[in-house]
Structure 1
């Protein structure tokens, strides 16, 4: 007999969503993968995110082991972010999820356009 008493069951999909949930996290993963890996580049590309929020999202991605941060001992200081090996394993999933998101946006726009006719 299998007993479930005192065992918390975790849904793997919920864990995945919790890790990538956050303002622009999937966009940050894509940007870092494509070589836009400096804070200033990310901030310029994402004007709707505050510096504080951007720093928070990068910190969370680093704590989850998806990105690594490399500080260069220069003046002025330079920091670059890279996908970790673990983050690389997530990248194809993020890429496909974003493709689906674009398809869904197009579908909604077509549906809205049909209503206006």
Structure 2
């Protein structure tokens, strides 16, 4: 699952996220991120390094059994501009992220698992 999560910018079948939310508000935000921590099959953490928005986050995958995994997403997003601040205040951003997580779950269940990728370790600075 971690491998598929890392490919999220190239996975339009499940993510609507930041760009779609911004477009819905007639605002487009672009930013670059870097992975700051990654542990094989368990978690990945990132932060923005440039662009129009500041955010950091971590997704944690906890294997419960052969058929179940708990996915926990923690994000800290600093809304910029009136439109994003208003969207955040009414819960629009939270709903969008929850929808992305639901679509990610559906994608994993349809595929029957992840597709594979690099599985090394990235350590925090």
Q: Same fold (TM over 0.5)?
A: no
* Structure in which a larger fraction of residues adopt strand: 2
Of structures 1 and 2, the one scoring higher in RCO (CA 8 A, sep 6+) is 2
Bigger radius of gyration among the two = 1
TM range (shorter): under 0.3
